[in-house]
Structure 1
Amino acid sequence: IGYPVIVRPSYVLSGSAMRVAYNETALENFLKLAAKVSRDHPVVISKFVDKAKEVEVDGVYDGETCLIGSIMEHVENAGIHSGDATMSIPPHTLSVEIQKKIEDATQKIVKALKIKGPYNIQYLVKDGAVYVIECNLRASRSMPFVSKTRGINLIELATSAMLDKKFEEVLKTCGLPPTSHVGVKVPQFSFMRLSGADPVLGVEMLSTGEVACLGENFADAFSKALQAAEFRIPPKGGSVLITVGGDEPKRRVVPLAKAFEEMGFKIYATAHTADVLQAAGINSVSVLHKVKEASVNPNILDYLQDQKIDLVINVPMGNKQKSYSDVLTDGYIIRRQAVEFNVPVITNLELASALVKVLQQKENNGVTIRSLNEYMDELPWKL
């Protein structure tokens, strides 16, 4: 199947002990570790689709009617555990054509499996193609989010379906039309309370809770959800530290840095990242020296300690790079010190891009303040 592959011991929950192996050496190292932990249980190796969008569907089937509660789009690309992912209802970037493919696939899967009750199906989307990851015949952690956002109690409907009761006629005839509002769910982390924990997200779940908010659009809802999860949104004219590993991620961060510059942010970066930004015409960037250069000023750790940085965007190279272990040491200290000094940290470029949208909207319009009941009163159905 080729590399990269995702490797996990059988019967694990929350992605425990899962890894993505980008080469033979990484795969061998993980298999040796898995064998030491348990020789009695097999290891599952699957193809990992890099740079794909992850999508989920929550719904209920009563044996006749397949109710799709919602299609949820992950902000982060595949490779981030669904429990740690930021999700949007409705999808904020998927085309109508892709959503139709997902709906059709969901109908076929649910009817073929003859489900009676709740279901959760996870998909990958890449280059216009839709791939099925898995179908879970159970209620998922995202069902309360879907229920609150869409104004329908999926758990009550699932219970009725399991008791062989059929959906009301209104659900059979019209399903659930789109809502005028947007819901965004974000993870809640406890890195401050977990000494030494690295805030880099991956296939193993790290979050300890989640928060969901509604808004007029994606940026509005995302802004509220971040603040509810105790993420400090940088102030207007604040400062951002950008340190990105790998050539491609450095190129991808350029538009984000330009957006920060246009919003009046002071931009700091490590030397190699600064070179790329300056070559792209971002001349306002200032270089901060790495942790290993502690005796040289200006230094990242001093700026974090003195609260001169309002946001850290630190994206590690990943296992494709041979020097990953070297970068991890310096990058880990930056991320961990940011946590210790209560400076927001983002380790994912897709999430950083979404935050830029929040800052741009906040600069222009601010956020809306409405109660959940006000949003529910606008729905065309009362279920």
Structure 2
Amino acid sequence: MTDPDMADKIYIEPIHWRNIEKIIAIEKPDAILPTMGGQTALNTTLDLNRHKILEKYNVEIIGASVDSIDMAEDRELFKNAMTDIGLETPRAYVAKDFDKALVIQKDIGYPIIIRPSFTLGGSGGGIAYNKQDFEKIVKRGLDLSPTNEVLLEESVIGWKEFEMEVVRDKNDNCIIVCSIENLDPMGVHTGDSITIAPAQTLTDKEYQNLRNQSIQVLRKIGVDTGGSNVQFAINPDNGKIYVIEMNPRVSRSSALASKATGFPIAKVAAKLAIGYTLDELRNEITGDVIPSSFEPSIDYIVTKIPRFAFEKFKEADYHLTTQMKSVGEVMAIGSCFKESLQKALRGLEVGIDGFDEIIFEESLSPKERQDLIVKEISTPSSNRILYVAQAFREGMSIDDVFNLSGIDKWFLNQVYEIIISENEIKINQLI
């Protein structure tokens, strides 16, 4: 968007409502499309509306209304909206100061999830297991939230996490571009989790349920045109579904879904915002043979692995929570999950070719080595998947690793089969 060959005008300015007002005064646009600029664009648009700038210059908001942005981003409004349409969310309450937060915590107990409103990548949020962590995270969250409020939510740590990329037009035509499954259970920010598209462990009934609920969410929130991302948690024991949140904009997950399916979500969303409908737009990936109203279908597996830079920040905690810590990501395509996973690991450019064996210090006893593996598997971290593979090398069973990590057994079995193949290659000296 800052390419002079693409944009008519470019302004290199801090994104603040006062600067945007100056640009609006100069350029006199008819409309503003906030759903393409991430969380910053949404927050800035709300500021412009709050200060009556859009009204002053007669600028129309397209793609999503102020009310829909507010309802999606304000934790309390979103929870109430989901209740209105009969969808369940985790038990949660909003606090605007620390004293109120303490009262809520006593009701919910520990562990408790803290989610600041209107922040990017879960900034300021986290999971508190004790009073010391709680005080630190809540105060940080209140400080970082533009509205100085946090949502205190019951823990659904260990539940399976899914995302649905949805596109809707002005005629209420809705399609699911892609389903995305998080390998890590709830408790890790989706930007820090290994994710797989399409989802691998959903039954057809569960998928159709998530599909229907995603469309319900878009209609209730009021995203009239464009793409949105809806996140769900599913209890692996009984199949209970909670709606976690939705992003009323083109997001990081939208970029992944676009690359995974070839469906240009941002381009389509922009055209929908100016009045086109899905059936009027042709799907480029099919050579314009079919319209964009057909849901993409893929016969391959896409795996995304986040890239961290903890080696540059020695004092940073490499364990993962609901606050995003990754600095980038790699994506790989394969005919099966095992292929795409190993391609993605190699693509991280961290000196590994896949599930390289972990070299432990020689001074560690077998018991100490086992304890270290158990510790690394039990707590989400940037390299947990490598320790999962190492656990299988050390003789741990799939059930053992599942009980420690909460990672779905289907994924664990895939990693286990990779290690079995590795052992066969070693035994038969095939390389």
Compute the TM-score of the two structures, normalised by the length of structure 2: 0.57
Q: Which residue of 2 aligns with 1:349?
A: 405
Matched, 1:208 2:334: no
- Give the 3 Å change call, closer, same or farther, for CA 39–91 of structure 1 in structure 2: closer
Cα deviation 1:320-357 (Å, max 9, x = unaligned): xxxxxxxxxxx9xxx99x99xxx966798356974772
C-alpha distance in 1 between matches for 2:166 and 2:262: 13
Contact persistence 1:70–1:89 (CA under 8 A): yes
Q: Which residue of 2 aligns with 1:175?
A: 295
C-alpha distance in 2 between matches for 1:316 and 1:365: 21
- Give the 3 Å change call, closer, same or farther, for CA 351–40 of structure 1 in structure 2: closer
1:273-288 equivalences in 2 (<5 Å): 286-288=366-368
Percentage of identical aligned residues = 24
- Which of 148, 169, 183 aligns to 1:62? It is 169
**1:200 alignment partner AA:** H
Q: Could you tell me how far 1:200 is from its partner in structure 2? A: 0.9
Contact persistence 2:161–2:186 (CA under 8 A): yes
C-alpha distance in 2 between matches for 1:240 and 1:98: 41
C-alpha distance in 2 between matches for 1:222 and 1:131: 28
Aligned residues: 286
Q: Which residue of 2 aligns with 1:118?
A: 227
Contact persistence 2:119–2:145 (CA under 8 A): no
- Give the 3 Å change call, closer, same or farther, for CA 38–156 of structure 1 in structure 2: closer
1:180-191 equivalences in 2 (<5 Å): 180-191=299-310
Contact persistence 1:57–1:68 (CA under 8 A): yes
Q: Could you tell me how far 1:14 is from its partner in structure 2? A: 1.6
Matched, 1:161 2:282: no
Q: Could you tell me how far 1:289 is from its partner in structure 2? A: 7.4
- Report the structure, 1 or 2, having the larger strand content: 1
Q: Which residue of 2 aligns with 1:323?
A: none
- Of 207-216 and 14-23, the range deviating more from structure 2: 14-23
Q: Could you tell me how far 1:36 is from its partner in structure 2? A: 8.2
C-alpha distance in 2 between matches for 1:148 and 1:39: 32
C-alpha distance in 2 between matches for 1:19 and 1:63: 37
**1:70 alignment partner AA:** C
Q: Which residue of 2 aligns with 1:89?
A: 197
C-alpha distance in 1 between matches for 2:274 and 2:189: 32
Q: Which consecutive residues of structure 1, in runs of 5 or more, have no partner in the other structure?
A: 242-266, 272-285, 292-299, 301-311, 319-330, 367-383
Cα deviation 1:253-295 (Å, max 9, x = unaligned): xxxxxxxxxxxxxx99988xxxxxxxxxxxxxx223799xxxx
C-alpha distance in 2 between matches for 1:100 and 1:142: 20
Q: Could you tell me how far 1:12 is from its partner in structure 2? A: 2.5
Q: Which residue of 1 aligns with 2:417?
A: 360
- Give the 3 Å change call, closer, same or farther, for CA 352–201 of structure 1 in structure 2: farther
C-alpha distance in 2 between matches for 1:152 and 1:172: 8
1:1-383 equivalences in 2 (<5 Å): 1=91, 2-3=108-109, 4-23=111-130, 26-28=133-135, 30-31=137-138, 41-64=148-171, 65-112=173-220, 113-126=222-235, 127-168=238-279, 170-171=290-291, 174-176=294-296, 178-231=297-350, 232=352, 233-235=354-356, 238=357, 286-288=366-368, 314-315=375-376, 349=405, 354=411, 357-358=414-415, 360-361=417-418, 364=421
Q: Could you tell me how far 1:363 is from its partner in structure 2? A: 5.4
C-alpha distance in 2 between matches for 1:168 and 1:35: 44
- Give the 3 Å change call, closer, same or farther, for CA 132–86 of structure 1 in structure 2: same
Cα deviation 1:166-199 (Å, max 9, x = unaligned): 11364476433x3210111110111112222222
- Give the 3 Å change call, closer, same or farther, for CA 38–152 of structure 1 in structure 2: closer
Contact persistence 2:227–2:266 (CA under 8 A): yes
- Report the structure, 1 or 2, having the larger helix content: 2
Q: Could you tell me how far 1:123 is from its partner in structure 2? A: 0.9
Contact persistence 2:196–2:301 (CA under 8 A): yes
- Give the 3 Å change call, closer, same or farther, for CA 314–148 of structure 1 in structure 2: same
C-alpha distance in 1 between matches for 2:233 and 2:206: 11
Contact persistence 1:98–1:130 (CA under 8 A): no
C-alpha distance in 1 between matches for 2:161 and 2:303: 15
- Give the 3 Å change call, closer, same or farther, for CA 181–34 of structure 1 in structure 2: closer
